[in-house]
Structures are given as C-alpha cells and as structure tokens.
A and B are shown apart, each in its own frame.
Chain A
Amino acid sequence: MKERWITASPDAEEKQEKRFQTWLSGENIPFETPEAEAAYKERVTLVKDAIQMKKVPSRIPLSPAAGHFPIEYAGINWHEAMYDYDKTARAWEKYQEDFAPDFFHSPRTIVPGRVLGLLGFKLYRWAGGGLRDDQEYQFVEREYMKAEEYQDLIDDPTGFFLSVYFPRIFGALKPLEKMPLLPPVHEIPLVPPAVLPFGTKDVKSLLQTLGQAGDEANKWNAMMVQVSASIMGKGYPSFSAGFSKAPFDVIGDSLRGTRGVLVDMFRHPDELIEACERITPFMVKMGAAVCKATGHIMPFMPLHKGADGFMSDEQFRTFYWPSLRKVIIGLIDEGVVPQLFAEGGYNQRLEVISDIPKGKAVWWFDGMDMARAKETVGKVSCIAGNVPLSLLCAGTPDDVKDYSKKLIDTAGRDGGFIFSTGAGMQGAKPENVKAMIEIARNYGG
C-alpha cells in the first residue's frame, strides 16, 4: 500500500499562503463599517504571523476559548440554549460585545436538542435528553464497538459505522442494520436486493425521521450562519472552522471507551494500530472540508487520551502519535493549519510532538509548563494557551492577572504565541474573564 503523509508535500507552503490570503480577504463577510473590515484584517494578520513564525505579530492575538461561558453569562439555561436557537445566538453576540476578544468562537458546539432527540442519540445526555435543564451535555462512555469487531471496522469503516455503530448510538437508526454492503452493488442482478430494505416499513419511517432531523438542523444552521455573519461583520474573525480528531481518540472515545482501548493495547495491539490507520484518511478529509467550503484555514482538533498520565511515552509513540501525525501532515498538505487542542497535560510529549514541519500548526495547551513548551515545540509551531480554567472559576481577578502576565512573559514575547485559555470557559467568573482580557490586551500589546 502507498505510504502517505510521512513528509509534507513541496507545495504545502504555497497552498497555506493561498488559504491565508482567502481567509484574510474576508470575502462574503457583510462588514458593518470599513473600520470593522480593517479590524478583521488586522486580527487575521496577527494570527497568520504567529502561525507562520516569519515575523513577530504587531501584538499578541487574544483568543480565549469561549466554550459554554456565553450561555451562563447571558443567564440562559442549557435547555433554552439547545432548544431556542435565537437565545443562543443573542448570548454569543452579547459575550462578544461585552468582552471583545480578538476572535469569534462559534456557538456551533451548542447543538440542537431536537435533532439529537429525533435521532434517539445515546452517545451523550443533555438537558432535555436525560439531564436537568441546568446541566451541560455530557458524554456517556460505553463499549459501543466490541473488541472482536476490529476486523469489521478495518475492512469497511463506512459500512461498519452505517450498519453497526449508528444503530447502537442512535436509537432511531436501528433499521440501518439492514443496509447492504455498498461495494458489491455493481452488477445488474445486484441492484434489486440492494434496494429491498428501502421498501420495508421501518426503513421508510426512518428516512422520514432523518428528513425531519435534517429540517431541524437546517433551522439551527440558519441561525448559526446569521450569528457568524453578525459577529464577523463587526470585525471579529472566526478562530476555527471544522473539526477533526486523533484517530486513536475516535476509537478510544467513541467506539471502545477508555477501559476498552487501553486494554486493547495489550490484547489487540495490531488491530488497534491498523484501525487508527484506517480512520486516518477520514480525519484528514473531515478536517479540511469546512475550511475548503468556508475559506477558513484552521480546523479544531481536541486531543484526549494521549495526555500525560494516560499512557507512557513509548505507548504514545506506538499507538497515538503515528496516525495523529499523518492527520497533521495530511492537513498541512491541503494548506490547512491544524489547531491541536491538547487537553490536560502534554509535558511528557514535547519531544515527540515537535516532529512536524515549521510554521504549519498551532499547539494549544492546557496543563503545560509553557516555558518548556516555548523552548521545544515552540521552535517549530505556534503555541497557544493556557490560563487554567480552575483559576478562572475559583480564583480572583488578581490571581488571573498575575498568571496572565507571567504567561505573556514566558511564552509571548517573541511571536509564535496566541493568548488563550487552557479550556472552554464554562463556569468562569465574569470578573475573571474581564480581568484576563484586559491584562492580555494591555500587557500583551
């Protein structure tokens, strides 16, 4: 088989520059004033300079992860946020207006509850779907794929998701168990059996349900498009577009669960690695898709199970990093800048993760010694972070200011840095968010 995504392609640099120019142009954004357009371009340029590492940005770009903070700040509960799209949109506008960070973090993570409900989604519980109105949505970890099923996943990831995994995680999609394998449908006698299931009552009704879910998702999407336009029109570029993950986390988070995937390292090491490889091209395509469609450049990639403490350095190098690195290189080849959001600590990983081409990614850290990060991975990649969420929730404005100043002094002085938080700001005290943004703006200028 052809080895892909080991070294970045020669035209990656050129493609990236082109994408930056598209993002910078702000085409299709309804700017309210020429000043807003100028502010937008200035902000994109700050991040472009920080990422490319060819010059020091004129000031430190300021992009805390809004997370779910805007909901709390607006005083709406989770049920309202997930079922009344207009309220969520207004909450985001209020947050952006009151705090004015340089970038817009989209409310698209506030997913529409009705869509999840129609599909009978089981992978999470949410306000209106098994949780109280004041609870944020939370993951329900189970072994959704059995260890014996690795080979089925490896043989046909799409077929496995469609007819095995989806029926397990979406109650309403149970009839998809009847779906035929698709590659065999390529000869005249193979057509009728392939469509037989579509004539059954439950599949017909399933298609209707999917249509309803699609209608609802479109309503929600229209509101998201509207709020993006209104906030970006005031001069705030979106910080990311699209989403991807480390293949190991796809398997570990959503298919096998933590316990399952960690035990598989001993019981099914080869299948686990092969499954990660099979997921890799999907993660490349997924990460580039929204950027291509919207003229953006940075897909968001939350990283989970490779954190310090979850596995040894050797296990990280064996199971986690090879396929993640391929996703990174695959995205770089598309001219896209992966935004690698390393949740938890990554202090043990600094050497390994420095093995990527220069000026092509953002490593966004949480529980990290930022001085060491600056000295290591910070030589090849823009780093971002890392005001701790615990400080924003349980500290005082003075604590936050002290931390932020130190952060700027250790990581921010000579470019290649984006000032941010270590996690989405849910639970933060507004006065702490305000203090952080003020100090970052005044001290990081």
Chain B
Amino acid sequence: MSDKLVDAMSNMKEQEALEITQALLDDGKNPMDILDASSKAMEIVGKRFESGEYFLPELMMAGEMLKQISEMVKPKIKGDVNSKKWGKVLIGTVRGDIHDIGKDIVIFLLDVNGFEVRDLGIDVPPEKFVEEIRGFQPRVVGMSGLLTLAYDGMKDTVRAIEEAGLRDGVKIMIGGGQMTEKVKEYAGADAFGKDAMEGVALAKNWIGGAVK
C-alpha cells in the first residue's frame, strides 16, 4: 500500500496519493510509515529533476502533495516527529532584491532533503546575515538574487561576514538566474548554483554524505 503511495506521488497522481493516504490512515497504519513513503517519493522526484526528466511543475506539484499529506498525517502522530535534520542552512534574498520565488524553491528542496533551513526573507541587509550566522550557526549560507543589483548585495554581505570573523565557519553559495563563475568571484562566494537542485547538491557536498 505504501509502495502505491510512493508510485502515485512520484508520478504526479495527486488525487490517488491523497486517497491512498486516507485509506492507510483509516486502516490504522503507522503515520510515520506514510511520511517515510512520502519522503521516498520526494527523493524519486528529486532524482528525476536532476536527470532532466522532471522540471519545476513536478517539483511544485510534489510539494503540494507533500504538504497535504503531512497535514493529514500529523494529527495522528504522538509526540515529536523525528525529523532527520542533518545540517543547517541559512538563506535569504540579499539587500536590494525582493524576489522570493527562486529562494522559496531552494528552501523547499533543502527541506525535503533533510536540511534545517532558516529563511531570512527578502531584501536582507548584510548585518542581518551576520547576526543570524551568530545565532543560528549554519554550516551553509545561501544568498539569492534575481537582479544584477544583487551582485553588490552579495559582495557586501560576504564582506560583512568576513569582517565579523565568521567567514571561515561557513560555506557560501549564491543562486539565481544571472549567477555565473564570474559573479561568484566578484561576490567572494564559494560556489554558485544555476538552479535549485544545484543548491541542494552544493549543501550536501559541503556538509558531507547524503541522508538516505
């Protein structure tokens, strides 16, 4: 039954996935197994995205399904959900830029891949990044931006992190449609990602070893 859930979710059959979930819950199945099946499906979706079979519509749709299934399942879980968070990522759209769609997709993918993500929102000043690095202590910092004015926002943020003496403790990735090797050098980041899955791959690589 939970194999069917994995199939339905990974093949974008929303209605079927929700019905199976309901049936599993009605049968008194362990809600944790349902969440495990959902995670497995998300992993398949992620792999298909990486291989170029799936694109943004599937990522979004999978996210929608996961959200609904989690809402159905969570009331049945007693105590804390044993999340498999295995690394902290701090992320925000840098000062000047107010775009959030790209950033939100990266956050969503990091989350389903088992990262603990803190979202600083949009138009985030360098001081805010610094303050949050001190408090949250992430291993990876992600900076998002769509516009070219984000280049300077990124550069200023990296400099502020350096000046605060925090640069050695974090890996910094930048992401957005206009990001290239040149921009990475300009900003002083450690790496850049052209799309959301590249961001996930970078974070995994830095933190080391993927969680199965």
Interface positions of A (Cβ within 8 A of B): 125, 131, 134-136, 138-141, 257-259, 262-263, 265-267, 309-312, 315, 343-344, 388-391, 393-395, 399, 423, 426-428
Given A138-B98, A140-B98, A259-B101, are A395 and B57 also a contact pair (CB < 8 Å)?
A: no
Expressed in whole angstroms, the Cα–Cα distance for A266 and B45 within the complex equals 15
Given the complex of chains A and B, what is the CA–CA distance between A327 and B97 in angstroms? 32
A–B Cβ pairs within 8 angstroms, 19 of them: A136-B147, A138-B99, A263-B57, A263-B60, A309-B194, A309-B195, A310-B56, A311-B57, A312-B55, A312-B57, A343-B177, A344-B177, A388-B180, A390-B148, A390-B178, A390-B182, A393-B148, A394-B186, A399-B182
A64, chain B: closest CB distance, angstroms: 14
Closest B-chain residue to A394, C-beta based?
A: B186
Q: A315-B55, A388-B180 are in contact. Are A393 and B151 (CB under 8 A)?
A: yes
Given A309-B195, A310-B55, A395-B182, A266–B12 Cβ distance below 8 Å?
yes
Q: Which residue of A lies closest to B197 (CB)?
A: A309
B61 within 8 A of A: yes
In the complex, are the beta carbons of A131 and B98 less than 8 A apart? yes
Residue from A135, A343, A390 with most neighbouring chain B CB atoms (10 Å):
A390
The distance in angstroms between the C-alpha atoms of A257 and B60, with both chains bound, is 12
Give Cα distance in the complex from A390 to B64, angstroms.
34
Interface range, B side = 20 to 34
Min Cβ gap A236→B in Å is: 25
B180 touches A426 (CB 8 A): no
Chain B residue nearest in CB terms to A267 = B14
Contact with A259, one of B60, B148, B151, B182 (Cβ below 8 angstroms)? B60
Is residue B3 within 8 Å, beta carbon to beta carbon, of the partner chain? no
- The answer to whether A390 touches B147 (Cβ under 8 A) is no
The answer to whether B54 touches A312, judged by C-beta atoms less than 8 angstroms apart, is yes
Question: B27: shortest Cβ distance to chain A, in Å?
Answer: 27
Convert B172-212 into 0s and 1s, putting 1 for each residue whose CB lies closer than 8 angstroms to a CB of A. 00000111101101100000001100000000000000000
Across the interface, name the chain A residue whose C-beta is closest to B187.
Answer: A394
Cβ–Cβ contact B57 & A265, under 8 A = yes
- Roughly how many angstroms separate A267 CA and B13 CA in the complex, as a whole number? 10
- How close is B164's CB to chain A, nearest CB, in angstroms? 24
| Contact of B56 with A390 in the complex, beta carbons under 8 Å | no
CB distance from A258 to the nearest CB of B (A): 5
Verify B57–A426 contact, CB threshold 8 A: no
CB distance from A438 to the nearest CB of B (A): 20
Indicate if the CB atoms of A258 and B101 lie closer than 8 Å.
yes
Minimum Cβ distance to chain B for residue A114 (Å): 21
Contacts of B126 in A (CB 8 A): none
Residues of A within 8 A of B14 (CB): 266-267
Q: How far is the CA of A388 from the CA of B180 in the complex (A)?
A: 10
Residue B72 at the chain A interface, CB threshold 8 Å: no
Which B100-153 residues have a C-beta within 8 angstroms of A? 100-101, 147-149, 151
> Closest CB-CB distance, B26 to chain A, in whole Å?
24
Cβ of B118 to closest chain A Cβ, rounded Å:
21
B96 touches A (CB below 8 Å):
yes
B60 touching A262, Cβ below 8 Å: yes
**Bound Cα distance A377, B92 (Å):** 38
Chain B contacts of A311 at CB under 8 A? 55-57
Given A263-B64, A394-B185: A141 touches B101 (CB 8 Å cut-off): yes
Contacts of B56 in A (CB 8 A): 258, 262, 309-311
> CB distance B180 to A390 under 8 Å?
yes
Q: With A and B bound together, what is the CA distance between A427 and B150 in angstroms?
A: 9
Nearest B residue to A395 by beta-carbon distance? B182
Complex CA gap A12/B104 in Å reads: 45
- In the complex, which residues of chain B have a beta carbon less than 8 angstroms from the beta carbon of A135? 96, 98, 149
- Tell me the complex Cα distance, A162–B74, Å: 42
Residue of A nearest to B49 (CB): A309
- Smallest Cβ distance from A30 to chain B, in angstroms? 35
A266 partner, pick from B61, B98, B99, beta carbons under 8 A: B61
List chain A residues, Cβ under 8 A from B177. Answer: 343-344
Bound-state Cα–Cα, A237 to B182, Å: 34
A52 shortest CB reach to chain B, Å: 33
Contacting pair B178 A389 (CB below 8 A) = yes
Question: Which residues does chain B contribute within 8 Å of A125, judged by CB atoms?
Answer: 98
Q: Which residues of A contact B61 (CB under 8 A)?
A: 262-263, 265-266
8 cross-chain pairs, A with B, having the tightest CB-CB distances, nearest first: A427-B148, A394-B186, A262-B57, A390-B180, A394-B182, A262-B60, A265-B57, A138-B98
* Bound form: Cα–Cα A343–B185 in Å: 23
Cα A265 to Cα B185 with chains together (Å): 38
* A390-B55 in contact (CB<8A): no
Residue of A nearest to B96 (CB): A135
| Additional A-B contacts beyond A141-B101, A393-B183 (4; CB < 8 A) | A262-B60, A309-B195, A423-B178, A426-B147
The CA of A262 and the CA of B104, in the complex, are separated in Å by 15
With a CB–CB cut-off of 8 A, which chain B residues contact A265?
57, 61
